[in-house]
Chain A
Amino acid sequence: MTLLKEKSDEQKDAEAVVDDFRQDRGPFVVAAETTRMPMVFTDAKAPGNPIIFANDAFLALTGYRRDEVLAQSFNALMERGHPESVEAIKAAFEGVSASDPVIHYCRKDASTFWVSVFINHVRSQSGEVVQHFISFIDLTQHREEQAHALMLIEELNHRVKNTLQAALSIVAEAFRHGSDPAAIRASIESRVYALARSHDLLMSDNWEGAGLHDLVETALEPFTDADGRAGRIEITGANTPLTPRATLALGVAFHELAMNAVKFGALSTALGSVQIAWASKATPEGERLLIDWREKDGPAVMPRTRKGFGSRAIEQGLAYEMGGKVHLEFPSTGVACTIDIPMPRRAGHE
């Protein structure tokens, strides 16, 4: 073992001290070796502060073998980290930093991690620092969680602002097109509830978007519960996981279609029914989602001359948000709406 031959007398002495620990306080050394907290001892008196003990957790954290760190200078090992980390470690050794440093360090394989470093000085009876006891807490996962939390907060902030803006636009729109206070209030309430339901759908899946079947059911829920309409609405299709954008856009579209059906279409009479079905289709441009809304046995619906918020939200909205084609037709058999959009499937779902 060439390594052993290169050891200085000081190192040997320092290792002897650790061996003494093992002899005298066996359980404590076993604990140090087996704990999941990475730990090293260094020889404070030898040049370069060589490592004289490294536990398994330290080797697991850094990716080095024991023989690659033992007798190596701790300071040199630390210099493989980021420059500011090296400075922070130096300051901690000299006792000039007020808090325990958090450093960004490189593993043997050059991947990086964040650790909090605790440096304790081991003193002899005369008070001289003979060893450094250095332990680490791996903060990598914590850092990643922090970054994720920040991203979520930013996303939340964005959505809150846009939601408030949408609420103001709902109010402005209702007043621009109505004069009857009751109708204005009903229009505002119904659209604010629709907005709330879309956000419920997003929330239920950590804002990652909802499933298409869940979305359609939720959007139609306020219209199916009342007046025994449940049996007259038929929903056929898979619960395809959608992107958040598609969840909101389709949520608004289905709400507007349902509201229109209840006011003027198939759900405004006792006999009419609605069939909603969808399927995916492979095309040379990629997978597409084809959604079909078909009303039956209702009164003939006249296309409204003024494009209201509802039909704009359906026709322009979906086309705009999703890059798709929407056809809203008013044949005498009942309203028919076909939606043809690029499959808004979430990443990670096949």
Chain B
Amino acid sequence: MEERRVLKVLIAEDDLMVADMIKSALIHFGFEVCGIARTVQEAVAIARHKNPDLAVIDVRLADGGLGTEIAAELSDLTNLGILYATGNKQNLTAADGHACLVKPYSEVDLIRGLEIVAEFIATGTVSPLFPRRFYLLKTPVTAPRSLQPDKLAEAS
């Protein structure tokens, strides 16, 4: 069986303990952390240099910056999967990224959230199960059967 490619992840989070937790969880579950950024500028610089597959982004960053500014600056990186991990999902739209996980979240929920975003990037679809406090920002091309209530109704 072909071994899965190690996915590179950028972390944008201004809280030390939270950033540290994300990093150790990612490493523990077999991801590669290509950088931790505290500000929008740092995140953009790391992304340009390291070309990550995924980004875990907090909305409120140091120096008053917003995580959504990172997504806007990197909008040309169409293969970058963006998962917001934030205290407040208000005001996030499809233009900002792929999904959002609301703090506090557990490690396994973070990992599952990233898997869903990676799947979205690779196939345009997503499969259940969704973690707690997880929300898709973009609509999948073809939602899986279980996510389409009308299809379920037809089938029964």
Given contacts A312-B20, A320-B16, contact A172 B105 (CB under 8 A): no
Q: Does B21 contact A (CB under 8 A)?
A: yes
Contact A249 B88 (CB under 8 A): no
Contacts of A162 in B (CB 8 A): 15, 17-18, 87, 103
User: In the complex the two chains form, what is the Cα distance from A320 to B87 in whole Å?
Assistant: 21
Q: Does A317 contact B (CB under 8 A)?
A: yes
User: In the complex the two chains form, what is the Cα distance from A321 to B16 in whole Å?
Assistant: 7
Contact with A along B1-30 (1 / 0, CB 8 A): 000000000000001111111001100100
Stretch at the interface among A45-53, A163-171, A225-233, A260-268: A163-171
Contacts of A161 in B (CB 8 A): 86-88, 103-104
A310 to chain B, nearest CB (A): 11
Which chain B residue shows the least CB distance to A169? B21
Q: Does A176 contact B (CB under 8 A)?
A: yes
Contact B16 A169 (CB under 8 A): no
A311 to chain B, nearest CB (A): 12
User: In the complex the two chains form, what is the Cα distance from A249 to B106 in whole Å?
Assistant: 23
User: In the complex the two chains form, what is the Cα distance from A173 to B25 in whole Å?
Assistant: 9
User: In the complex the two chains form, what is the Cα distance from A166 to B104 in whole Å?
Assistant: 8
Contact A165 B24 (CB under 8 A): no
Contacts of B18 in A (CB 8 A): 162, 165-166, 169
Q: Does B98 contact A (CB under 8 A)?
A: no
Which chain B residue shows the least CB distance to A164? B104
Q: Does B115 contact A (CB under 8 A)?
A: no
Number of interface residues of B (CB under 8 A): 22
Contacts of A245 in B (CB 8 A): 62
The interface residues of chain A, by DSSP majority, are classed as helix
Contacts of A176 in B (CB 8 A): 24, 28
User: In the complex the two chains form, what is the Cα distance from A180 to B4 in whole Å?
Assistant: 33
Given contacts A157-B87, A158-B87, contact A320 B105 (CB under 8 A): no
Partner of A165, one of B21, B28, B36, B60: B21
Q: Which of B15, B18, B19, B62 has the most CB of A within 10 A?
A: B15
User: In the complex the two chains form, what is the Cα distance from A47 to B86 in whole Å?
Assistant: 58
User: In the complex the two chains form, what is the Cα distance from A313 to B15 in whole Å?
Assistant: 12
**Which residues of chain A from 295 to 332 have a CB within 8 Å of any chain B CB?**
309, 312-313, 316-317, 320-321
Which chain A residue shows the least CB distance to B86? A161
B74 to chain A, nearest CB (A): 22
Given contacts A158-B87, A161-B87, A176-B28, contact A317 B16 (CB under 8 A): yes
Contact B16 A172 (CB under 8 A): no
Q: Does B32 contact A (CB under 8 A)?
A: no
Q: Does B107 contact A (CB under 8 A)?
A: yes
Contacts of B15 in A (CB 8 A): 162, 165-166
Query: Could you show 18 A-B contacts with beta carbons less than 8 Å apart?
Result: A157-B87, A161-B103, A162-B17, A162-B103, A164-B103, A166-B21, A168-B21, A168-B107, A169-B18, A172-B24, A173-B24, A245-B62, A312-B20, A313-B17, A313-B20, A317-B20, A320-B19, A320-B36
